Chain A
Amino acid sequence: MKSDRSGPLSKFRAFRLGMDVPPWGFAYTLINVPIPFRRLLLDVEQATRKLWFRCKRLNRKIGRALGVTRPSVRLPQELVHQIVGYISDDRPTLFACTHLSRTWCIAARIHLHRDFTVLDSEGFKAADDLQSMGMIDLVRKIAVSRQIHQADFLLPETMIRLHTFTNLQELDIRYLNVGQPLQWLREHCDILKSTVRTLTLRYPRGSIKQLLSFISLFTSLENLAVDSIDRDFTTEDCTPVLETSPPLTGRLTLTGIFDQDFMAGLVSSQKGIKFRTVDLQFCGEAQVIVDGCAGTMERFIFQPSDFRGRSNSMYFTAVPADVC
């Protein structure tokens, strides 16, 4: 046992013999000890070991008598999940939990690998590591943040890596040129299309038809957020007609959308829109959206387009859903 080797006697030996104690055993130390003293040292070692274990037992008895519980109490897995749920955003603590025990490790890594951020085309390589460790299913949200200067990023060849994420529920993409991956997604990415529940498109580029076709590809889509469309008028005609229609029953967040064609197109999708929460931030005329969700809308959040808010207009409050 390791504790025996690095126990009190090891220190004693090191002190007496004036040498470093090798961690792999006592016998090696005896090589440098004259033969008459070896027996004596072995006796001392044995006596000290007995004393060491006796102290440990006594310590445990005292602990029990005083009602001090051992630190590694085995909790039911459900309780551990619940406890870890409270620190789901605290990554250092989650990381520490993975070292605690197998039960805590299982609970912590669900949150630790929940989000996956890709900043460039090399970013998908980390997905291979997750896949080799069998943890690819833990990833539920991917944020793909292309830098503007990376022209060839987010091409179908790069985006095919999204296919490896089999349990992806949230997809957040910046600066997506929608026309490029549209055909590829339509043909190859069935898993992705069926699992994604929340889609966020920030500054997407493409025609309105392409955007609406892209959104409609995700057959289980419930929540949709679109931020500032960069409309491309040149590719307006060559886009195929919508084939499917997602349920769109959760939350719609439109930020900086002034395009009436996009709003009208969204409302006139096959099944219509049934959002329960409509959040309009700095948008243009949006009566068509309000009318489209009139039957289902339970919560309405509105910031006008000339929102003056604060002197620093980069932020606004995000009020918890159940706050008022």
Chain B
Amino acid sequence: MRKVYIVVVLAGLALVVFQHLSSASTGRAVSPEDFAGACAPCGAPCPSKK
């Protein structure tokens, strides 16, 4: 199980670093709730806005 963990942690870290460096980073961390019209933590719209 230890070997599995080493692989998962190193592969996961490599993926995160690669994804970060190859993305158009806007800098500031945001939540979907920060966007206009969001009504839930996942950014779903309000029932009244449909």
Instruction: Determine if chain A interacts with chain B.
Output: no
Chain A residues with a Cβ under 8 A of chain B: none
